[in-house]
Amino acid sequence: MGVRCTVKKFFPIIILFLLTTLVVQGQSFDKLAQTPPMGWNSWNKFGCDVTETLIKQMADAMVSSGMRDAGYQYIVIDDCWQVSRDSSGNIVADPKRFPSGMKALGDYIHKKGLKFGIYSCAGSKTCQGRPGSRGYQFQDARQYAAWGVDYLKYDWCNTGTQDVESSYTTMRDALEKSGRPIVFSICEWGASQPWTWAPEVGNLWRTTFDIRPCWDCGKMVMSNGRLIENFMGFTKILDLQVGLESFSGPGHWNDPDMLEVGNGELTYDENVAHFSLWCILAAPLMLGNDIRNMSDEVQEIITNGEVIAVNQDPLGRQGKKVRDEGDFEIWSRELHDGSRAVVMFNRSEKKEEMSFKWSEIGLPQNLEFTVRDLWKKQNLGKFTGSYSDRVPPHGVVMVRLYHQD
């Protein structure tokens, strides 16, 4: 049988194989981040001080603290793991800080039942001056896939006159071409209103500049007409999420930045408020604290299964602010079983009686609902028409309303 004859014979099989590969590859990308990604990222607490020992310890802690069982999956190394490119242009991890190499680190993380995340930048350099991916997108994506990377956070420093949408689309295409399903986290700080274009390009997109572990601090520093620093406490970031709810859903999420629970000067009630509101917002839950050494209080907050269930609700509908009376806000989120999650948020300095009506959260006034407190993990009783409670200063009451026929 000649070569032509053999090719002819196997032609249908070859076509079927190619089509199946394409469909399977496409499907695996489509299925990524059906609920907001949950994990840990090195930046908020450790900045550039990242090493393979630290990352391994975080993976160990994610398992031993019960966080993996609570749903946390990704261990993401943010900026500063990379030092140069070799003579073939391959990105090189810092050999002093990551002596075993990234493949070995990825294997370690995978063996723990976790997933491996990494960071790069669309510009020539990262925000900390390390080599960026501009001009190397396909080569980098292939390298990440070979290392077993499952998640890429892609920043926007040193991009000059680059077009934002096409820069991120190039990296999206490079990741898809790599053949490995890699969650794509867009980090251009909300400047180009990414919610208008990013749902087609990435799985999550930052909506603001960086978060800081404080209630309402904020700073914007300009130098020679350039913005060199801009950060905000979590309540300021929260204010900027209003109106973005219609852009997010399964596979594509608004990202109001990583959690600061357990960091800085946040009090217990502020930590609870921050976590509750990020869950109502269907925000990615990327922890930014030292999970090796955390108080029991912080551990209980970040592993509260009933609150996490609101964040991970399969309907994937982002919650929204339904009432704003200055210091007193009501936020509500529709859940897959027809129930509602509601957060009563008290920004004032004193304890306050707050209430909401069913009609404000899209429920019929005359129906009776069981109200469950998600932090006390207790049913509070059956109520018709409205619910009121005492809300701590800088704190929340978070409830879920169930209807039983």
Query: Would you name the residues annotated as active-site residues?
Result: 155, 210
Count of chain residues binding ligand GLA (CB under 6 A): 10
Rounded to a whole number of angstroms, the minimum distance from the CB of residue 235 to ligand GLA is: 19
DSSP 8-state code for residue 359: G
Which of 175, 187, 232, 282 touches ligand GLA (CB under 6 A)?
187
User: According to CB under 6 A, which residues from 373 to 402 bind ligand GLA?
Assistant: none
Rounded to a whole number of angstroms, the minimum distance from the CB of residue 144 to ligand GLA is: 16
List, in sequence order, every beta strand (DSSP E) within 122-225. Answer: 151-155, 183-186, 204-206, 210-211, 218-223
Least Cα distance to 69 among 230, 281, 233, 305 occurs for 305
Rounded to a whole number of angstroms, the minimum distance from the CB of residue 155 to ligand GLA is: 5
Looking up tokens 């129930």, which residue turns up?
339
Residues in Cβ contact with 120 at an 8 Å cutoff, skipping those fewer than 6 apart: 82, 91, 126, 132, 133, 140, 152, 153, 154, 155
- What is d(CA 87, CA 286) in angstroms, rounded to the nearest whole number? 35
- What is d(CA 183, CA 3) in angstroms, rounded to the nearest whole number? 42
125 vs 323, beta carbon nearer ligand GLA: 125
- What is d(CA 186, CA 204) in angstroms, rounded to the nearest whole number? 6
Rounded to a whole number of angstroms, the minimum distance from the CB of residue 58 to ligand GLA is: 16
90 vs 128, beta carbon nearer ligand GLA: 128
DSSP tally for the chain: helices H, then strands E: 11, 21
13 vs 228, beta carbon nearer ligand GLA: 228
Residue 155 binds ligand GLA, judged by CB under 6 A: yes
The Cα angle at residue 176 between residues 171 and 177, in degrees rounded to 5 = 95
Rounded to a whole number of angstroms, the minimum distance from the CB of residue 45 to ligand GLA is: 12
CB half-sphere exposure, 285, CA atoms < 13 A: 30
Which of 105, 127, 259, 343 touches ligand GLA (CB under 6 A)?
127
> Binding segment for ligand GLA among 64-72, 97-105, 121-129, 277-285 (CB under 6 A)?
121-129
> Binding segment for ligand GLA among 126-134, 259-267, 293-301, 302-310 (CB under 6 A)?
126-134
> Binding segment for ligand GLA among 125-133, 264-272, 273-281, 345-353 (CB under 6 A)?
125-133
35 vs 120, beta carbon nearer ligand GLA: 120
Contact (CB, 8 A) for 201 and 172:
yes
128 vs 370, beta carbon nearer ligand GLA: 128
> Binding segment for ligand GLA among 31-39, 68-76, 124-132, 284-292 (CB under 6 A)?
124-132
Least Cα distance to 152 among 47, 26, 41, 45 occurs for 41
User: According to CB under 6 A, which residues from 207 to 236 bind ligand GLA?
Assistant: 210
User: According to CB under 6 A, which residues from 22 to 51 bind ligand GLA?
Assistant: 43
> Binding segment for ligand GLA among 62-70, 122-130, 275-283, 380-388 (CB under 6 A)?
122-130
- What is d(CA 216, CA 212) in angstroms, rounded to the nearest whole number? 9
Q: What values do phi and psi take at 363, rounded to 5? A: -120, 150
125 vs 317, beta carbon nearer ligand GLA: 125
User: According to CB under 6 A, which residues from 338 to 357 bind ligand GLA?
Assistant: none
User: According to CB under 6 A, which residues from 73 to 112 bind ligand GLA?
Assistant: 78-79
Residue type, 73: Q
204 vs 272, beta carbon nearer ligand GLA: 204
For residue 344, list its beta bridge partners: 330, 397
Nearest residue (beta carbon) to ligand GLA: 127
Cα–chain center distance at 23: 27
Question: Which spans of this chain sit near ligand GLA (rule: CB under 6 A)?
Answer: 43, 78-79, 126-128, 155, 187, 189, 210
